Amino acid sequence: MNNMLQRILLACSMLALAASVSAAEIVVIVNPANPATAMTTAQASQFFLGKSTMFTPVDQAESASIRAEFYKKVSDKDLSEVKAIWSKLVFTGKAAAPKELHSSAEVKKAVAGNPTGIGYIEKSAVDSSVKVVTTLP
């Protein structure tokens, strides 16, 4: 019985940890030299879905959980829908898909080094090298 109680407590702890990881706030970031000070989620969606070329989007890796959460919050689309949109844009020559990086640290570094860069990271990863223009609900 004691072993069963330990397993239940371990499972509850793992669920709580998973919930806290997925509940991390996501922010949209730009280069500090960028004149933008705020952006709506609809505006951010335009840059990450290829509808505007004013900014150069930088994406998280396809396997990153933050990526799925970001697209759901910013455009109400799942990753397969986003992939289909970009496939069509690339195939027709209308746009190039955003560069994929493997971590929030890499996204932050890329945006900090590009005056037109835009990306998304966990709010906890923000520092003075980037500027937050949107916090996703």
The mean pLDDT value of the chain amounts to 87
pLDDT of residue 1: 53
pTM listed for this prediction: 0.81
Cα dihedral across residues 85, 137, 43, 101: positive or negative: negative
Extract the tokens encoding 108. Answer: 């932050």
* Cβ atoms 118, 111 nearer than 8 A: yes
Taking only Cα atoms into account, the Rg of the chain, rounded to an integer number of angstroms, comes to 17
* Cβ atoms 102, 61 nearer than 8 A: yes
Q: Which domains does the chain have, with CATH numbers?
A: 24-135 (3.40.190.10)
Three-state DSSP state, 60 = strand
pLDDT for residue 105 is more than 50: yes
Q: What is the crossing angle of helices 41-48 and 65-75, to 10°?
A: 120
- Give the confidence band of 132 by pLDDT, cuts at 50, 70, 90: very high
Which residues lie below 8 Å from residue 54, measured CB to CB, with a gap of 6+? 47, 116
Task: Give the Cα separation of 119 and 60 in Å (integer).
Answer: 8
DSSP 113-131: T-TTEEEEEEGGG--TTSE
Q: Which residue has the tokens 């239940």?
A: 8
pLDDT tens sequence across 4-57:
445 444 444 444 444 444 468 999 999 999 999 999 999 999 999 999 989 999
